[in-house]
Structure 1
Amino acid sequence: MNRTFWITALVAFINALSLTILIPVLYLYGRQFGLNDFQTSLLFSIYAIAQFFATPIIGKLSDRFGRKPLLIISLAGTVIANLIAGTATTASILFIARFLDGITGGNASVAQAIISDVTTPADRAKGFGIFGAAFGLGFVLGPAISLFAQQISLGAAFLVSGAIAFIALLITLFFLPETLQHKAERSHNIFDLGLENLIKGLTIPRVSILLIINFFIGTTFTIFTYAFQPYFLHVLNQDNRALTMMFFMFGVLGVIMQTWGVSVLNRKFNLVNILLFALFIRSLSFVLMSIWANITYFVIVSILFSLFNSLVQPMINTLISLNSNSQDQGTVMGINSSYLSISNAIGPVIAGLMVNQADPTTYRYPLYLAGVLTSIVLVFAIVTRRRYAAIVNE
């Protein structure tokens, strides 16, 4: 792995740090503005919907103009959006800030395209594993920083997040070189921004199946992500400090699996089998989590979930990259992030509609649903595996 790869991994880590500072506070911050559970779910969704439309545009532009300028724009948007959110005085301003962060939030897909640019096909699984681990390391330190920021106020967490994103912006500006060797042909139509690729993505051989799988993976995960917090707080009767520590644990286990775990498993098993087994453990964990409302039991199941769930996205990203042409990596990764974003918009809304604040036991229902849907995704991935695994065996 060369210097550019490690700089990109560093930017990914800092970006993840910025993001994960917000995860433990967003639900409570929304409630602070008087939003109910469903309205709070829309804070998650508006960000994801904006990303859905923005990421294919950013991905395609990065294929035309280079990775670096688009990464700079994306990080700058995050900085500004978090400063607005941290100083918001009304729920409307908070929603505007979340939308702005989403509409410029293509930094992950551009960083993934850089990883594809600077790694060989043979090293790509390892590269995405390290990239995922860098992101996971952000999940380790982000909640810890969030916990300190929350001592000031929930809004302070957004300000700290914006300051950290600014560091990633400076590193990108001064240290990250351009990695795109062959720029895509510039379109004569200024409105050709890649939105049509949201449809065309479903016609790309091999990649289309992976996009569908990732869409449903994202939906089930964000059903869990949203429902997990009120379940932990209201059913298990834990506080925000304990919630933040749970995110810290998820991050630690994710780093272990995405560094050491991916390397070990990739030597013994192919990418598809790792993905399928990880999905199986994930679906089982979702169902088991809320069967017994006991904190010790919940933590044990969460450990099992976190270990194997952290393998899913690196395997999906690697398979998509290996099944894509080198000159289209930015576009394809942008499409992938876009589908993942719209799934992230759908999941919280589904969870928000299923729960009833007056009946805390309803917070179990989204977790059960996430388990059932993940099982369906697993079956679909098994049935279609020959259509997206062929390139790995060539």
Structure 2
Amino acid sequence: MENKVSRWCLVSMASIPLVMTLGNSMLIPVLPIFEKKVGISSFQSSTIITSYSLAAIFLIPVAGYLSDRYGRKVVILPSLVLALIGGIIAGFASWKVDDPFFWIIIGRVLQGVGAAGATPIILPLVGDLYKDDDEKTSSCLGIIETSNTFGKVLSPILGSLFAAFLWFLPFFSISFFSLISIVLVFFFIKVPKGKQEKPQPLKQFVKKTKEIFHKEGQWLYPVFLLGVYAMLILFAVLFFMSDVLEKGHGIDGVKKGFVLAIPLFTLCVASFITGKKIKGETAVMKKVITTALIMIAGSVVFVGYVSEKLIMLLIVTSILGTAIGAMLPTLDALITEGIEKEERGTITSFYSSSRFIGVAAGPPLMSLLMKDHLNISYIVGGVFGVILLLLVLKLIKTEKSGQKMQTE
């Protein structure tokens, strides 16, 4: 029997990536403010983003394992509570502690733990709710990814707006948004009832995971690398733009938030349209990924060269945003539809973990490279895009439209 998924259930699922995206991206435009208020370097401010992501990287696979064995909702709700607590710690320390940097990092790590247990579980949950209907799965994943990317559009605007009132208000706002998501998930997500499984022993879980990667690794590894690459490029460019808009163009505050939102808006629109169009067809998905990689590699090399010309910078980064926006829901759909339900939580959690590697690495790498090696770093980014394009063409095989992933 097909499960009827209510509109409020969909809203509740979409709220989770929205909240978690706000929890990270909202801080990017206000990092220069944190540097002044807390008295920290550009590299230290980048660790406010990285600490969140590092915690998520290591705990996401654990969350995936737990969600497969104990249920999606059982893992999601406590994780959202941790994200709420982390925001309170970071905000209160900024407000009341003389040297708050250590406590801000503690709060951010807690939020990262929360993100680890909430965001990646959404992908397999969608697969559970729309089982055996690839078209609805792709469409719903498009909405989820659009919610994620819409969060990125809102983030710089909201972050700048909150910081204009109180520089540490963004931390408290993350707790408020988490609370809304907790209420929505608790009341509206109804997980389909199925046969209760006994928790799988860890040794058996590790063995099974190895078997999946051995069997499906030919196309899984490139997809994981694409997740790392897309998020690394995105967060490196956003970190750089936040810095250059303020220091190079004299644009700060809410105005900077709106300017940063322009390439993120193109990312959001591309994500929504792609989610609607791919409809579970792997041949179409491969075309989307290859086109997106060509666009990313072709545009990222120019970011440094056009940084002094605001209009050109926005055009180049908007092309970049469009390409990344098209790629993300496509990768989500490949993973969700290419893996059996029993292992879906585990594999999607490893994929989400790989994306957080990119998020964690982007800002600190850019903070170290942008002073002396700006253009070289973006050219290297473009070269990596070409290498990934060749890997996709070689390793991701499709046959007829509508078929699942094929391997040699």
Q: Under a length normalisation based on structure 1, what TM-score does the superposition of the two structures give?
A: 0.87
Distance in 2 between the 1:182 and 1:53 partners? Answer: 29
Distance in 2 between the 1:124 and 1:229 partners? Answer: 35
Give the match for residue 2 of structure 1.
Answer: 5
The structure 2 residue matched to 1:82, chosen from 87, 91, 100, is 87
Which AA in structure 2 matches 1:73? P
| Two-structure CA RMSD over aligned residues (Å) | 3.0
2:303 aligned with 1:289 = yes
Alpha-carbon spacing, 1:366–1:240, altered in 2? closer, same or farther (3 Å): farther
Per the TM alignment, residue 199 of structure 1 is displaced from its structure 2 partner at its CA by 6.8
2:98 aligned with 1:95 = no
Give the match for residue 187 of structure 1.
Answer: 200
Distance in 2 between the 1:13 and 1:298 partners? Answer: 26
2:385 aligned with 1:374 = yes
Q: Retained in 2: the 8 A contact 1:202–1:211?
A: no
Distance in 1 between the 2:24 and 2:201 partners? Answer: 36
SS in 1 for 2:115: coil
Per the TM alignment, residue 277 of structure 1 is displaced from its structure 2 partner at its CA by 0.5
Residue by residue over 1:347-368, the C-alpha shift from the partner in whole angstroms, topping out at 9 and shown as x without a partner, is 3332233233xx6xx5445433
Deviates more, 1:340-349 or 1:88-97: 340-349
Give the match for residue 369 of structure 2.
Answer: 354
Give the match for residue 24 of structure 1.
Answer: 29
Superposition pairs for residues 1-394 of structure 1, below 5 Å?
Answer: 2-3=5-6, 4-26=9-31, 28-88=33-93, 89=97, 90-106=100-116, 107-119=118-130, 120-179=133-192, 181-182=194-195, 184-188=197-201, 202-205=213-216, 206-264=219-277, 270-292=284-306, 293-356=308-371, 362-386=373-397, 391-392=404-405
Distance in 2 between the 1:342 and 1:180 partners? Answer: 34
Alpha-carbon spacing, 1:223–1:165, altered in 2? closer, same or farther (3 Å): same
Structure 2: state its 5+ residue gaps: none
Residue by residue over 1:278-317, the C-alpha shift from the partner in whole angstroms, topping out at 9 and shown as x without a partner, is 1211122211222122011111222222222211111111
Distance in 2 between the 1:194 and 1:366 partners? Answer: 39
Q: Percent same amino acid among aligned pairs?
A: 18
Q: Retained in 2: the 8 A contact 1:109–1:333?
A: yes
Per the TM alignment, residue 231 of structure 1 is displaced from its structure 2 partner at its CA by 2.9
Which AA in structure 2 matches 1:45? T
SS in 2 for 1:391: coil
Alpha-carbon spacing, 1:252–1:129, altered in 2? closer, same or farther (3 Å): same
Which AA in structure 2 matches 1:118? L
Alpha-carbon spacing, 1:264–1:185, altered in 2? closer, same or farther (3 Å): same
SS in 2 for 1:289: coil
Q: Retained in 2: the 8 A contact 1:57–1:194?
A: no
Which AA in structure 2 matches 1:285? S
Deviates more, 1:140-149 or 1:313-322: 140-149
